[in-house]
Amino acid sequence: MKILHVVADDISGGAARGAYWLHKGLQAIGLDSTILIQSGSPDDESIIPANNQDYKKVLSVLRLAADQLPLLYYRNREKSIFSPGLMGMKLTSHPAWSEADIIHFHWVNKAYFSWRFFPSITKPAIWTFRDMWPVTGGCHYTRSCLNYLDTCGNCPQLGSTVRHDLSFFLKKWKRNSYKKSNIYPVAISNWLADCARKSKMFDSDIHVIGNCIDTNAFRPIPKEISRQLLNLPKDKFIILGGARALSTDRRKGGQYLANIFNQLDRNKYHGVLFGRSHEDAFKIQVTMLGHLYDIPSLALAYSAADVFVTPAEQEAFGKTTIESMACGTPVIAFKNTGAMDIINHKSDGYLANPSDTDDLMRGIKWILQDSAHYQKISTAARLKVKTQFSLSHIARKYHQLYMLVINNESVTTREHA
């Protein structure tokens, strides 16, 4: 069986990393897996850039500019990412597409592959949703807006007060395209699947298969070693937080981390942040690690911490959550996100009430109540990831789904969560 993954971003992006780990898991169980990315210069021969010539790179820039052109009409729109998805490459002529037995779509934005092309796909295909974009009129996360449950329109991210705006027509056109296609939808969490079902964008059921990571790469490093390498204090509890856009994307919950850092005792706690974060003044001392692009650096940061707090208000899954847990560091997250599929409350982590800083604080104190209790939670956290989110475990779930789709068998009654 030959699987072709279609991924818009290079493999450094969060969604792309999810696809990459699945790709490696499929290879590990003996399947022929290839990733077709939009551009880049990967070292891995099984990762192929579609834009590998200069003129194609120019065309990709022009496609993205054309795709974003309708947004110029909305002068009051927010700076959050909004993808019309009208433009895209026709990948069906690519040799990797021709050779594949099944096409597996992941994050397809940046004018890489348009939803308009789905009805013309003749090969068996599935689509793994990695954010809310497949079921909205263009935004990637709706935040507090519920218009996606109906027809979209009056889009707050466009700054629109008109029902028949761009988001309204995009959702209508996407829905019509999906109805004419044979794409099997998969969500990376039950939370995201519920959002997709409520949107009524797909007639078929939404299946659930989580992300995976390499638990040999993300593994515990002794705290005395990891803290020494990162120049962190050894005599305080370390609270870690981080995301690629922690300070610029309010959805990521940076404001809750700030509240926590301003309530903790500076004599007992030390904060650490990675990602794009403002160097604000907090009550406790906070070390800024900046962007961490490589796995060893991430594993060091997770291992050095006592607790990882990821207070996103909306999160499709929680890749950083399983990374931290694989390193033996318990995680605190809000219970209305994809983290509900990962964390077993008060067993291997803590699920706080939504938007409740006080409950996040209770979670920190509960996890750190004593060393024996902490060791129990830490061990359970790593075991959870090794048994439920390892490369081989998730790869076998997808292999089963591939076989059903290729054989055109009913998958609506199969459980993949």
Sequential pLDDT tens for the chain (417 residues): 999 999 997 776 677 889 999 999 999 999 999 999 998 878 889 999 998 888 888 999 999 999 999 999 999 999 889 999 999 999 999 999 999 999 999 999 999 999 999 999 999 999 999 999 999 999 999 999 999 999 999 999 999 999 999 999 999 999 999 999 999 999 999 999 999 999 999 988 899 999 999 999 999 999 999 999 999 999 999 999 986 555 557 788 888 998 999 999 999 999 999 987 666 678 999 999 988 888 999 999 999 999 999 999 999 999 999 999 999 999 999 999 999 999 999 999 999 999 999 999 999 999 999 999 999 999 999 999 999 999 999 999 999 999 999 998 655 444 444
Instruction: Give me the sign of the Cα torsion angle 89, 90, 95, 96.
Output: positive
Sign of torsion, CA 218 132 181 83? negative
Where in the chain do CATH 3.40.50.2000 domains reside? 2-212+391-406, 223-388
pLDDT value at residue 12: 67
Sign of CA dihedral 216, 219, 224, 228: positive
Q: Which helix (H) or strand (E) holds 349?
A: strand 349-352
C-beta separation of 173 from 186 below 8 A: no
User: What pLDDT shows up at residue 416?
Assistant: 42
2-212+391-406 CATH pick, 3.40.50.2000, 3.40.50.2300, 1.10.287.3240, 3.90.1170.40:
3.40.50.2000
CA pair distance 311, 73, nearest whole angstrom: 34
Greatest C-alpha distance within the chain: 63
The Cα–Cα gap between 276 and 242 comes to 8
256 exposure class (CB count in 10 Å sphere: 0-12, 13-18, 19+): buried
pLDDT at 300: 97
Backbone angles phi, psi at 102, to 5 degrees: -145, 140
Rounded to 5°, angle at Cα 95 from 92 and 100: 75
Written out in words, the top-level CATH class of the domain with range 223-388 is alpha beta
DSSP label at 263? Answer: T
Buried-state track 151-168, b at ≥16 Cβ within 10 A, e below 16:
bbbbbbbbebeeeebbbb
**What pTM value is reported for the model?**
0.93
pLDDT at 413: 40
